[in-house]
């Protein structure tokens, strides 16, 4: 009889803490042995990872799959195509969003989202909530019960008419997060500034895609970031600012962190690899890169790199928000000449997130391999209550692994990706390093560039109350 279901030999293993050589033995989907030279013949299956890196599978803590939109647009990826695409890019856990419709029940949104995911997801998944209507019923009953049930993080918006909360509502929701031990994620942009600028731009006939970036300047992001930091300080609760785009918001976060506040931050590939110039492409092509906050400029890209290097950022996510370009339910919802305000926001990137950061970050010496694992896997697992089951390579952890060839050169094209979107903003970009074999709970699910796992094999993950969500001075409670 074999001791292991699978042994991975001769690889260089990296966690958020260390890089070391060892073999891994897997039984029943979990890592049960880490040793120098596990005996030959001890396993039914073996993978020789000589010359390769063995990393924890990525945890993409910000992606949107099959999320109802309410404006007639439709996300191109459901839980099947979205998670196949994630897996093929080296990600083994995703945390998309169950979004409350204003006036409706949050519990109903969660139940609906479960129906969308079950039988389709091919990797494990948890849900963040989106709280758009903090009614007495939601604050008094639904949200506390959902947090107890394992939905321990939620996003709130400071912009978008159908989602945004005012300051009073934000205070109420943050106070609940503090009391019940949830992580609050904030989309920080000043709604009134954006509406005012949009109106001015439209009056001047400036409605082409690139004006989207002018309608959402850094001042609007900076102001909202500062404001929500102040609200969180008042309540004494940690928060995480999502999809931070550039220097001005970073300065606010750094200032808060310097004051000793537990303010965490996430950034995304679009703020490293795109600029507002990408919205300036011919005709309507710029709509492909419309997302909020918008990509900024080269100097801001450098500021984001600095933040990844120096610890301002804890999390690197994709914010995969998949809308097809040539599609009346996608970017062309209101036609091929629609004013920017009617173009669905968001860009695809769940499959390219890791390779882009690995190539430009680790490959070019901007961040270490351990920092890469921290930003893309360990920290999102910790911050959202999934660690150490996910996010590391350790005895007892789920055997969610990505075996990378650090030397493999790949030119990204949309044709090679597995999402259901008809473009990638990174078309033609060359990267070095690619996750060749991906393993989820001990099962090889990606091999030779293609998905090789079973349909609908992903499992729902209940999240613990995250330690990083505890107020200052209470880490040991």
Positions in the binding site for ligand URP (CB under 6 A): 64, 187, 243, 291-292, 319, 321, 345-346
Q: Which is nearer to ligand URP, 275 or 440 (CB)?
A: 275
User: Is 9 an interacting residue with respect to Zn ion (CB under 5 A)?
Assistant: no
The listed partner (Zn ion, ligand URP, none) that binds 418, CB under 5 to 8 Å by sort, is none
Long-range contacts of 259-263 (CB under 8 A, 24+ apart): 259/233, 260/472, 261/229, 261/232, 261/233, 261/472, 262/237, 262/238, 262/468, 262/471, 262/472, 263/229, 263/232, 263/238, 263/239
Q: From CA 381, how far away is CA 401, in angstroms rounded? A: 14
Q: Which of residues 300-329 bind Zn ion (CB under 5 A)?
A: 319
* Burial of 255 per CB tally in 10 Å (0-12, 13-18, 19+): middle
Shortest Cβ 319–Zn ion spacing (Å): 4
Q: Which is nearer to Zn ion, 319 or 360 (CB)?
A: 319
Cα–chain center distance at 208: 28
Q: Which stretch binds Zn ion (CB under 5 A): 71-79, 185-193, 206-214, 353-361?
A: 185-193
260: how many CB neighbours lie within 10 A of its CB? 8
Residues 97/155, Cβ–Cβ less than 8 Å: yes
Coil vs helix vs strand at 44: strand
Cα–chain center distance at 147: 20
Q: From CA 376, how far away is CA 270, in angstroms rounded? A: 15
| H or E element, residue 309 | helix 298-310
The listed partner (ligand URP, Zn ion, none) that binds 345, CB under 5 to 8 Å by sort, is ligand URP
Q: Which is nearer to ligand URP, 330 or 442 (CB)?
A: 330
The listed partner (ligand URP, Zn ion, none) that binds 291, CB under 5 to 8 Å by sort, is ligand URP
Q: Which stretch binds Zn ion (CB under 5 A): 14-22, 182-190, 366-374, 446-454?
A: 182-190
Q: Which is nearer to ligand URP, 290 or 369 (CB)?
A: 290
Q: From CA 193, how far away is CA 364, in angstroms rounded? A: 38
User: Is 441 an interacting residue with respect to Zn ion (CB under 5 A)?
Assistant: no
Shortest Cβ 41–ligand URP spacing (Å): 50
Name the residue among 63, 65, 99 with its Cα closest to residue 79.
65
Q: Which is nearer to ligand URP, 327 or 443 (CB)?
A: 327
Q: Which is nearer to ligand URP, 307 or 346 (CB)?
A: 346
Q: From CA 420, how far away is CA 288, in angstroms rounded? A: 14
By residue count, the chain amounts to 477
Q: Which stretch binds Zn ion (CB under 5 A): 32-40, 101-109, 183-191, 193-201?
A: 183-191
Find the binder of Zn ion among 187, 331, 371, 419 (CB under 5 A): 187
Shortest Cβ 448–ligand URP spacing (Å): 32
Q: From CA 171, how far away is CA 230, in angstroms rounded? A: 10
The listed partner (Zn ion, ligand URP, none) that binds 439, CB under 5 to 8 Å by sort, is none
The listed partner (Zn ion, ligand URP, none) that binds 178, CB under 5 to 8 Å by sort, is none
**How would you list the strands of the sheet with 58-60, edge to edge?**
58-60, 91-94, 124-125
The listed partner (Zn ion, ligand URP, none) that binds 226, CB under 5 to 8 Å by sort, is none
Shortest Cβ 101–ligand URP spacing (Å): 15
The listed partner (ligand URP, Zn ion, none) that binds 266, CB under 5 to 8 Å by sort, is none
Closest chain position to Zn ion (CB)? 187
Coil vs helix vs strand at 163: coil
Shortest Cβ 157–Zn ion spacing (Å): 7
Residues contributing to the site for Zn ion (CB under 5 A)? 187, 319
């Amino acid at each position: 009889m074999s001791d292991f279901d699978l042994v991975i030999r001769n690889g260089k293993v990296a966690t958020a803490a260390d890089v070391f050589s060892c073999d891994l033995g897997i039984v029943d989907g979990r890592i049960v042995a880490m040793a120098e030279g596990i005996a030959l013949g001890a396993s039914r299956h073996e993978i020789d990872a000589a010359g390769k890196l063995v990393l924890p599978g990525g945890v993409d803590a910000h992606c949107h799959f099959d999320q109802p939109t309410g404006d007639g647009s439709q996300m191109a990826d459901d839980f099947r195509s979205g998670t196949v695409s994630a897996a093929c890019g080296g990600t083994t856990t995703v945390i998309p969003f169950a979004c409350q419709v204003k006036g409706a029940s949050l519990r109903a949104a969660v139940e609906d989202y479960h129906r969308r995911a079950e039988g389709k997801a091919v990797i494990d998944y948890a849900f963040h909530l989106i709280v758009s209507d903090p009614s007495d019923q939601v604050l008094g009953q639904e949200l506390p019960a959902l947090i107890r049930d394992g939905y321990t993080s939620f996003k709130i918006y400071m912009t978008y008419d159908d989602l945004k909360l005012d300051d009073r509502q934000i205070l109420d929701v943050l106070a609940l997060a503090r009391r019940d031990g949830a992580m609050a994620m904030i989309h920080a942009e000043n709604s009134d500034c954006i509406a005012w600028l949009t109106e001015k731009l439209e009056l001047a006939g400036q409605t082409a895609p690139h004006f989207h970036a002018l309608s959402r300047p850094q001042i609007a992001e900076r102001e909202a970031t500062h404001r929500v930091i102040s609200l969180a300080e008042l309540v004494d609760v940690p928060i995480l600012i999502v999809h931070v785009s550039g220097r001005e918001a970073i300065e606010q976060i750094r200032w808060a962190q310097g004051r000793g506040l537990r303010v965490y931050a996430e950034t995304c590939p679009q703020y490293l690899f795109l600029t507002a110039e990408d919205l300036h492409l011919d005709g309507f092509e710029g709509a492909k890169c419309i997302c909020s906050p918008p990509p900024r400029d080269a100097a801001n890209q450098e500021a984001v790199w600095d933040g990844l290097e120096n610890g301002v950022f804890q999390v690197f996510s994709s914010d995969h928000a998949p809308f097809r370009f040539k599609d009346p339910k996608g970017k062309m919802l209101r036609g091929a000449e629609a004013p920017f305000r009617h173009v669905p926001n968001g860009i695809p990137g769940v499959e390219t997130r890791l390779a882009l950061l690995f190539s430009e970050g680790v490959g070019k010496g901007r961040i270490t391999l351990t920092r890469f694992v921290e930003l893309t896997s360990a920290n999102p697992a910790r911050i959202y209550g999934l660690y150490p089951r996910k996010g590391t390579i350790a005895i007892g952890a789920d055997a969610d692994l990505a075996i990378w060839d650090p030397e493999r050169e790949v030119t990204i094209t949309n044709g090679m990706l597995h999402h259901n979107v008809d473009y990638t903003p990174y078309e033609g970009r060359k990267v070095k390093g690619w996750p060749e074999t991906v393993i989820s709970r001990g099962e090889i699910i990606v091999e030779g560039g293609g998905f090789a796992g079973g349909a609908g094999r992903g499992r729902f993950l209940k999240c613990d109350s995250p330690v990083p969500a505890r107020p200052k001075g209470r880490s040991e409670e």
